[in-house]
Amino acid sequence: MNLPRSPWLVRQSGAGRRLRLYCFCYAGGSAANYASWQAELDPAIEICAIELPGRGRRFGEEPQTSLAAVTATVAKLIASQGSMPFAFFGHSLGALLAFEVARYLHHHGLPTPRHLFLSGASAPQHRRKLELHLLADDALIEELKRYNGTPLVVLEHRELMELLLPVIRADFALAGNYAYRPGALLNMSMTVLMGREDKNGEGEHVEGWKKETSGDCRIAWFDGDHFFIHPQRAAVFDCIRSELLGVACT
């Protein structure tokens, strides 16, 4: 089956896939962050990463700052991708995007994910309004150091950061301009992944995710800070694998 192609979707296709995992990246990240996931997860699971404008092979495009526009575009593309069951994984900003895309699909009567993995993010109704995109370059770089998700050698490379900051700033604008609106409950199971040492306050209202779905919502805690997904990579994969293999076999 020839599925619609789009620069928004980076698929690692192959034979024998029974479920597609759409992956949404954190601020400043790209589809490349998920390039190695296919080899790490079960062959039954196909990885398809979301590539926002301004990064990766879309580096020359203008970054987006409207979360509503991104949500609608991605949701419609996913709905056009055939009948294979699917799930979402998103970390930090990616978790917010995954949640809002799932809501869009649900609200418009389109196919919805079988499972949501929401990583490193407070429940949307409790999100703090941060305007990091308004900071001067040096102050923004200091904030990025605090998040501990970008290598110091990159943050201290002035020429490289001049290329990366517009995308990072746009991503923080996506989150900073977000306004939660109550809506109909989702009808899917969720797994919320959190780092025990996250200093960004993301774990303070993690239980609020349970109020967003009529399905089961499990909270999984990992050692580490906001970017626990890197040092706890194997444990994160075990968590994803255990949840999705049951879905892929149904």
Euclidean distance between CA atoms 164 and 1, whole angstroms: 37
**What per-residue confidence (pLDDT) applies to 204?**
64
**What per-residue confidence (pLDDT) applies to 246?**
72
Catalytic, 92? Answer: yes
3-state secondary structure 184-248: CCECCEEEEEEECCCCCCCCCCHHHHHHHECCCEEEEEECCCCCCCCCCHHHHHHHHHHHHHHHH
CA 231 vs CA 35, 125, 149: distances in Å: 17, 29, 11
Euclidean distance between CA atoms 129 and 21, whole angstroms: 29
Euclidean distance between CA atoms 157 and 149, whole angstroms: 15
pTM: 0.91
The pLDDT tens digits of the residues spanning 188-224 come to: 999 999 999 887 765 667 889 999 999 999 999 999 9
- Residue 101: phi, psi to the nearest 5? -65, -40
pLDDT by 10s per residue, the chain, length 250: 556 678 999 987 766 788 999 999 998 889 999 999 998 888 889 999 999 999 988 988 999 999 999 999 999 999 999 899 999 999 999 999 999 999 999 999 999 999 999 999 989 988 777 777 778 888 888 888 877 777 787 878 888 888 888 899 999 899 888 889 998 999 999 999 999 988 776 566 788 999 999 999 999 999 999 899 999 999 999 999 999 977 755 5
DSSP 55-76: SGGGTTSPPP--HHHHHHHHHH
**What per-residue confidence (pLDDT) applies to 137?**
80
Contacts of 92 by beta carbon, 8 Å cutoff, 6+ apart: 26, 27, 119, 120, 121, 202, 226
**What per-residue confidence (pLDDT) applies to 248?**
58
Q: For residue 26, give the DSSP letter.
A: P
**What per-residue confidence (pLDDT) applies to 151?**
79
**What per-residue confidence (pLDDT) applies to 127?**
76
Q: Which domains does the chain have, with CATH numbers?
A: 9-248 (3.40.50.1820)
Q: How many CB atoms lie within 10 A of CB 5?
A: 10
Catalytic residue, chosen from 13, 66, 83, 92, is 92
Q: Under a CB-based contact definition with an 8 Å cutoff, are residues 119 and 92 in contact?
A: yes
Euclidean distance between CA atoms 40 and 60, whole angstroms: 30
3-state class (DSSP) for residue 177: coil
**What per-residue confidence (pLDDT) applies to 31?**
93
**What per-residue confidence (pLDDT) applies to 148?**
73
Q: Extract the tokens encoding 49.
A: 């990463």
